[in-house]
Structure 1
Amino acid sequence: MIKRYLLIGIACAVASSVNAAVTQSEAKQLGTQLTAVGAEMAGNADGSIPPYTGGLTTPPAGFQKDSGRRPDPFAQEKPLYSVNAKNMDKYSGHLTESVKVLMKRYPTFRIDVYPTHRTMAVPPQILANTAENALTGETIDGGLGVKNVKAGFPFPIPKDAYQVMWNHLLRYSGEAMEYRYKSWNVDASGRAILATEGVNSDDFPYYHSAGGDIFWRLKVKYLGPERRNGEAIMLKDAIDVVGKGRSTWQYLPGQRRVRLAPSLNFDTPNPGTGGATTYDDAFVFNGSMERYDFKLIGKKEMYVPYNTYKMTYETKPEDLLTPNHLNPDFVRWELHRVWVVEATLKEGKRHIYSKRVFYVDEDSWAALASDEYDGRGQLYRTVISAPTQSYDVVAPFTSSYFAYDLIGGIYAMVVHLGDEKGCLKYIKPLSEREWSADSLAGSGVR
């Protein structure tokens, strides 16, 4: 079925394409040498990365429909080996620079490497649209925008770093979802502090609305800590970054009014993480690319968190949030191929990060990790995704992540679902009225 959708998509694109983004010969690799979204179909030479066989699309035993929780399909697996400061030289080629720093700094920090499972999958229609995009999609405005794309990954065979990053920004996460979460900061003394608790509503018009320029909308209703209870924010990101960019609003109970909040982007400290990350650190990277020059380095095999069901859905904060770093017992790492993208701050532009290196998953096109450098060129922070496949709706979930401040010695766990209240549910897109500024005031009243 998937192959049939893919072939239909390629045929339609070939018939209509005039200025193809890739050649017809290149596009024919999709579904043969490459998966339908552009990853290498084959495994690696030693078999530690297996071939792609369609991803995880069947719920395991124990899954309860509408519960919002997803049991770990690999719960019985044990780590193949662990990497720490003592043996890291043997595996250094598979480690990000930030992970190396963490290993050297904290004797208790390690990564447990499990068997690799290429679980990420998306619905057949998304694959068909991706095949068409391969032959029609283009970047504009120096890579800052895209055109001639429809509800699928825009550049399954990317030619440059901007196309890779647009695949991340327009990655498939379903049409709409809602989840109650908590985000935590752990200070240098090892004390865990609740940064925020709330309900997120994510909406992806790119994947459910014909026409229009908004590709992502987010509404956050804050429930805690007490001083933030009743606050709310809303943002909308447009594909037309140069013309429209990001629109943002904020509701503060003390003022009892909604106001525009143009600073909810770039390197503004994110209060949702207690200032431990910037707004464009969310999900490893989000927002406009306009302040950086992006360069495609190539592909590498890297250790990254993957299939983190235990950490995301089952682990209690008090068990996960240990001093200095997350408890390694609950973080699953696997070997995966990633695209490596380097972003260097443009001359005359301002940002607290002078350089950023992103590691983008070939199967989901989600950025899975970053190395971020300050103005002196010193390694400053890292943001690391904790992805899972929502096998019941066939959509990757990549909104849970954690971040380490390598200078301040603090870290944040963002969008943690692993307590009695946390859950992730896929919903019908909210009405347009629910995305008005007036609706934000109603949602934030305590």
Structure 2
Amino acid sequence: MRISHPLLHACVLGFSLLAGGVMAAVSAQDAAQLGATLTPMGAVKAGNADGTITAWSPMAKTAGTVDARGFLADPYANEKPLFTITAQNVDHYQARLSPGQVAMFKRYPDSYRMPVYPTHRGATVPDEVNAAIKRNATESQLVAGGNGLENFHTAIPFPIPHNGLEVIWNHITRYRGGSVSRLVTQATPQQNGSYSLVYFHDQFVFRDKMKDFDPNNPGNVLFYFKQEVTAPSRLAGGVLLVHETLDQVKEPRLAWIYSAGQRRVRRAPQVSYDGPGTAAEGLRTSDNLDMFNGAPDRYDWKLEGKKEMYIAENSYKLDSPTLKYSDIIKPGHINQDLARYELRRVWHVVATLKEGQRHIYAKRDFYIDEDTWQAAVIDHYDGRGQLWRVAEAHAQDYYNVQVPWYTLETLYDLQSGRYLALGMKNEEKKAYDFGFTANAADFTPAALRQDGVR
């Protein structure tokens, strides 16, 4: 079922402006819908006609308790599934699934399932972020070619988007707490379910959360990302540093790697596009991290519109500190009994590889949650036009700090029967530490060597 956005008719104007290399922001009158008929982040406030999608209502910071390690209680722990989608009944629900989701039922007919629960739309961000988003609506623009932003503040430059590229920029720049330090794990199971874990310590800081940020001279870095592998021992000590640029026409992404074995820092231009993901055994590309990241310039982006879809939301059960990683990782796919799906509205954007450009994914179908601008599902196609990989994010609202983000990212390879699961923290000593602070000097190549010493 296709859904019309209140301003989707503006797509025609948006496409014509993009072709001319200039993008116009929306009018003050249109921006006034934010916080009125639209949520402050740009979603339609109202539910759907039959009530299966509820109206948006901001989640309270006290929606549940927070334990000593920072894990959140599940506000919906007592709810039972409304129904479960299985290989036997998937045809009945196919219109509200992506082709990749349907393919998972065919690939794993005996084990793959989707428990569908009541919908709860509560994603919200701090008031100052909402104010920045509303300011962006009338000020932010794409630079020529669409590979960067001008007049951008904090998060989500296009809460009322005109086209697919603007939707993708909303995903890339969405609010993730401003800064975070986190301990997470990654598994790449064999077909029989056997796996070894890779442990990461990530530090992620948007520019305006740096202690030495100068708003009068913001520079061209959107955010800083540092990732250290802490285990297993054969990989420990390796550190990746990324400076993600805002105007990628002016300056492409900058990346460096510290090699513990060589004890040297080197530039890493391969940390982009379809370069191999860290310790992923070839199961993801660099731009598969965070479902999609980096420069959008190798694809043409077509906005198909909105639709209703079953996506993994309010995934507190999957994030429970009572679980072991072995409870989650199973042959073929994660333990779907721990998953929670809800009916939501999503933006559907199709990315097609431009003529003359190279990438292992010739096409990607994006399904992006309207409430958070987070990619929920991405179907990946190879150069033969065959469905290859299915990315699915299990999201939650970190309600105590007003941050919508992922609990777990999965990427299923339909051809090999293997998959990648990234972001598990159930057994770690601490959950996400939002509010992490640093100086720009902490994210320089010179600082990498000290970080990588075992």
Q: State how far apart, in whole Å, the 2-side matches of 1:429 and 1:400 are.
A: 24
TM-aligned CA distance change 1:428 to 1:105, over 3 Å: closer
Amino acid at match of 1:397: W
The aligned counterpart of 1:7 is none
Question: Using the alignment, how far apart are the partners of 2:324 and 2:91 within structure 1?
Answer: 33
TM-score, structure 1 normalization: 0.92
CA–CA separation in structure 1 for the residues paired with 2:209 and 2:437? 10
| Residues 20/252 of structure 1: CA separation in 2 closer, same or farther (3 Å cut) | closer
Deviation at 1:24, TM superposition (A): 2.8
Partner residue, 1:115: 118
In the other structure, the counterpart of 2:95 is 93
1:247 is displaced (CA, Å) by 0.6
Q: Distance in 2 between matches of 1:431 and 1:272?
A: 28
Structure 2 spans left out of the alignment, 5+ residues: 1-22
Taking the TM superposition and a 5 Å limit, the aligned residue runs for 1:43-442 are: 43-61=47-65, 63-64=66-67, 67-107=69-109, 108-194=111-197, 196-206=198-208, 209=213, 210=215, 211-314=218-321, 315-398=323-406, 400-421=408-429, 423-442=431-450
Q: Distance in 1 between matches of 2:377 and 2:348?
A: 10
Q: CA deviation at 1:404?
A: 0.1
CA distance in 1, matches of 2:209, 2:103: 39
Query: Deviation of residue 56 (structure 1)?
Result: 4.0
CA distance in 1, matches of 2:208, 2:220: 8
Question: What is residue 10 of structure 1 aligned with on the other side?
Answer: none
Aligned partners of 1:130 and 1:123: how far apart in 2?
Answer: 11
CA distance in 2, matches of 1:255, 1:245: 26
Native 8 Å contact 1:371 1:382 kept in 2? yes
SS of residue matched to 1:203: strand
For 1:35 and 1:427, locate their aligned partners in 2 and report how far apart those are by CA, in whole Å.
Answer: 25
Contact kept in structure 2, 1:152 and 1:207, CA below 8 Å? no
| Paired residue type of 1:329 | D
Quick one: structure 1 residues 207 and 41, their matched pair in 2 at CA, closer, same or farther if it must change by over 3 Å? farther
Aligned with 2:131: secondary structure? Answer: helix
Q: State the shift of 1:420 in Å.
A: 4.0
CA distance in structure 1 between the aligned counterparts of 2:94 and 2:430, rounded to whole angstroms: 36
2:238 partner letter: E
CA–CA distance in structure 2, aligned partners of residues 152 and 348 of structure 1 = 32
TM-score by structure 2 length?
Answer: 0.91
Structure 1, unaligned runs of 5 or more:
1-18
Q: Is the 8 A contact 1:190 1:324 kept in 2?
A: yes
The CA deviation at 1:390 is 1.1
* Deviation of 1:152 (Å): 3.2
Q: Which amino acid aligns with 2:236?
A: N
SS at match of 2:303: strand
Q: Is the 8 A contact 2:181 2:436 kept in 1?
A: no
Deviations, residues 30-68 of structure 1 (Å, cap 9, x unaligned): 11111111100000111111111123432413x236x23
Residue matched to 1:42 = 46
Task: Compute the displacement of 1:135 (Å).
Answer: 1.0
Q: Is the 8 A contact 2:179 2:206 kept in 1?
A: yes
Q: Contact 2:177–2:435 (CA<8 Å) still a contact in 1?
A: no
What number of residue pairs does the alignment pair up? 425
* Counterpart residue identity of residue 437, structure 2: P
Return the offset for 1:422. 5.2
Any idea what the Cα deviations from partners look like across 1:359-404, whole Å, max 9, x if unmatched?
A: 1111111111100000000000011112111111111123731110
Superposition deviation, residue 78 in structure 1: 1.1
Superposed CA RMSD in Å reads 1.5
Asked whether the 8 Å contact 1:185–1:193 carries over to 2, the reply is yes
Give 3-state SS (helix, strand or coil) of 1:228's partner. Answer: coil
Are positions 1:28 and 2:35 aligned together?
no
Residues 351 and 365, structure 2, Cα contact 8 Å, conserved in 1: yes
Q: For 1:117 and 1:86, how far apart are their aligned partners in 2? A: 27
